[in-house]
Chains A and B, each alone.
Chain A
Amino acid sequence: MTTMTDPPRESFRLSMLINDTRYRSMTFQAIALFSLIVAIAYLANNLLTNLAAQGLNIAYDFLGDPAGYDINQRLIEYDSQSSNARAAVVGILNTLLVAFLACFMATVFGVIAGVLRLSKNWLVSKLMAFYVEIFRNIPVLIWIIIIFTIMTAVMPAPRAFRGDEPEATMLFGAFAFTNRGVYIPAPVWGPGSMVVVLTFLASIAGVIGYRRYATNLLYATGKLLPMGWPSLAIFFVPTILVYLIMGRPIGLEYPELGGFNFRGGIQIGAPLIALWFALSIYTGAFIAENVRAGIQSVSKGQTEAASALGLRPNRVMNLVVLPQALRVIIPPLISQYLNITKNSSLAIAVGYADITATLGGITLNQTGRAIECVLLLMLFYLTISLSISGIMNVYNKSVALKER
């Protein structure tokens, strides 16, 4: 039986590039590469021709030039003499600010609505279903404009707060809702306030440390330490004590009516409020659906098994249902956060100075550097998206079912 040898190796023929599956993929890829190069070369050639025809070039030195416009809402020092690059940084910070605020608020709305939608109370669950359907099916841009209109057209002007019998009054004497934005008290950091802040941070660490110690003790010895009131005590008592000992270094500056407008306090502009609120309620409706799906994905047997083991309802929730539900909830939740960040670019519709409105709006129009501005804008959003999805991948790996 020595005849069982490999068939003689066929020599390579040109027709095998089309007929042989081993080589055909090479042909396809070569064609694809060729057409890609041709397409890029064609587009680049058009670009260069068009730029040359208009006497333009690709350069980024405009970033160093003075921007020449003012930005109301800003987190860092900025004036109209600052550079375009600094305007872009102000925009980036504003984007991150509104994205962070809206993520937080949307999670609150979403979790509440999602849990209530599963309520046994017929009226409440129907009301939440109504909320979800209404907000999911109407464009977020319309919501932004509706809330912006409420903020600017319905809220009273600052002068309505004037006089002996004003048409509008401040909430608790501290919050003023006007058509120029909302005024809230600003903290005043006196000498020694650093100590209070440090104590506060230390007590947060203390709470975490205590809870970890209690859990370890429980697992090691079975001894159950109380969790609730010691945590509260560690959280509040030291900070309040230090605050009083240091002689109340942190005060509040209330907004006051002066001239034609409010003075003092922090002004939150109407565009920020509109964007923040609209993104929160819109995305909250989506998060509510994710939360509902997550809770429903935990089978009833799990709850029943946990109860049969003698766990109390809150422990069933904390130890059995939530860890399993979170595995389902968190990935779509993070992609909703990503959506909030991307949707915050709609700020341009209400004049909130985020990165799209500064770099992609005013700077682009003033310098005429369309290609550079749009490329930088895309680069920023890409960086954010890719880093968030990178974090999400790491998280997904850590909570993935450990299968053997």
Chain B
Amino acid sequence: MSDTQQHSISFVRTETLPEREPPYAASGPVKWMRENLFATIPNGILTIVSLYVIYLILAATLPWILNGVWNTASLSECRDVLDGTVGACFSVLTERWNQLIFGFQYPEELYWRPGLAFLLLFVAAAPVLFFDLPRKLLIFTALYPFIAFYLIWGGTILTPIVALVGFVAAGFFWKNFVARSFALGFFGSIVVAFIVWWLGGFLISDTANENAAMQAVPSRDLGGFMLNMMLGVTCVSLSVPLGIALALGRQSSMPLIKWICVIFIEFIRGVPLITLLFVASVMLSYFFPPESQVDLFLRVVIMITMFSSAYIAEVIRGGLAALPKGQYEAADSLGLDYPQAMRLIILPQALKISIPGIVNIAVGLFKDTTLVSVISMFDILGMIRGPILASTEWNGVYWELLGFAALLFFIVCYGISQYSQWLERRLATDHR
């Protein structure tokens, strides 16, 4: 055979050819564009339309932002500087920065206090959010509510200390008695806390706030984005435990407890938050003792906490229902009683499943804190629509202010949702 080939084939290449570059259209950015932008004719049309839309958006906003004016004292000055060209008057943000962040009544010389509380929030939240950090930091997290309260409201230091002592005493009681009986430890510690607070009430005189080291700031002076942050953080952290309790109550085998929880949850989920805020602003004071003065901030916190706890309860109920029945049976067969089974076996798994849902609710709740502007609290939106837009200097500066508020909310909410996705990946133990 080889002989015949030798005769029939005149030339045989003995060495390999050097590799050639792939065709220009089948590699690099051209290939990517052909596959991802212009795969078919309708696809190509869609790409061109999207490019045009992007161009329109950028053409409308970019010159406006880049040409922005940052340091004038009023809108008319800003218009003079711009001299008819397109541009934003960001100077409203620099000039009214303190009002946007702290509201218009918080004493100016005390701005460092909420500022410090805001910075410490990150320290306090870090060990909760990231498990790799040393667990000792959780002590600071536990102390943070009292520190933040003292920093923001000021007044006598006895108030947060008495509150703290009450919690410490309750925790002490719980630690010593929970081994004997869960119910004794739980209800006993609540009673102990109330006794300590009641006794502590005698320590604090009515005039203690007037000549305290830290000047007292009443709740109605709070405002701006600080108010949104405070409402968001307080209500989320209060509503998670309440939501867990409601979810467990809804799953309970005791009909009375179950129906109380069902009615509460369905009622709250059936009405808009704004009606609950109306309750807080006009109706709730009728239900408190006649001589008591519960301030609006506390009433709003109560209502928003109730609102979000009902939603969180539904998310956790989903998590509880998603657990295989074998987990409940395994806990029973180990001889654990109800509180032990819940604490050690059921809740850790159910909460892990519910994390994305809870974060969604938290983001929604944080966005909903803007609704307090409707019941005339001056949060950031209330500040923009009220004092700032009504002032003679800045009457008519809509986009800069609304854009700034939107940007703040976007940063916080997008950050939280990115964290939740990271946490989901981190907690995924199902080795898929």
Hey, which bits of chain A sit against chain B, CB under 8 A?
18, 25, 28-29, 32-33, 36, 43, 46-47, 49-51, 53, 119-124, 127, 133-134, 136-142, 145-146, 149, 153, 342-343, 345-346, 348-349, 356, 360, 364, 370-371, 374, 377-378, 381-382, 385-386
Contacts and interface: CB of A to CB of B under 8 A. Distances in A.
9 contacts: A46-B288, A137-B409, A137-B414, A141-B381, A145-B402, A153-B398, A360-B275, A374-B275, A381-B272
B267 A382 contact: yes
A136 B367 CA distance: 10
A145 B266 contact: no
Contacts of B267: 382
A49 B289 CA distance: 8
Interface stretch (B75-83, B117-125, B138-146, B254-262): B254-262
Nearest to B269: A385
Interface of B: 36-37, 39, 43, 46-47, 50-51, 53-54, 183, 253-257, 260, 266-267, 269-275, 278-279, 282-283, 285-290, 363, 367-368, 370-371, 373-374, 381, 385, 396, 398-399, 402, 405-406, 409-410, 413-414, 417
Main secondary structure of the interface of B (DSSP, over half): helix
A145 B278 CA distance: 20
A334 to B, nearest CB: 14
Contact of A139 (B279, B290, B370): B370
Nearest to B409: A138
A356 B54 contact: no
Contacts of A374: 275, 278-279, 282-283
Contacts of A36: 260
Given A138-B367, A360-B278, A121 B260 contact: no
Given A120-B39, A124-B50, A142 B409 contact: yes
Given A32-B260, A149-B402, A385-B269, 10 more contacts: A28-B257, A32-B254, A46-B287, A53-B290, A124-B50, A346-B371, A348-B274, A349-B374, A364-B282, A370-B286
B245 to A, nearest CB: 12
Contact of B50 (A50, A127, A153): A127
Contacts of B254: 25, 28-29, 32
Main secondary structure of the interface of A (DSSP, over half): helix
A123 B373 CA distance: 38
A381 B279 CA distance: 14
Contacts of B371: 141, 346
Contacts of A32: 254, 256-257, 260
A124 B287 contact: no
A275 B368 CA distance: 16
B28 to A, nearest CB: 15
Contacts of B373: 141, 349
B271 A371 contact: no
B46 A121 contact: yes
B37 A123 contact: yes
A343 B271 CA distance: 10
Contacts of B285: 50
B271 A381 contact: yes
Nearest to B415: A137
A146 B401 CA distance: 10
Given A138-B367, A348-B374, A381-B270, A145 B51 contact: no
Contact of B37 (A18, A121, A133, A140): A121
A222 B417 CA distance: 52
Contacts of A342: 271-273
A286 to B, nearest CB: 10
B410 A137 contact: yes
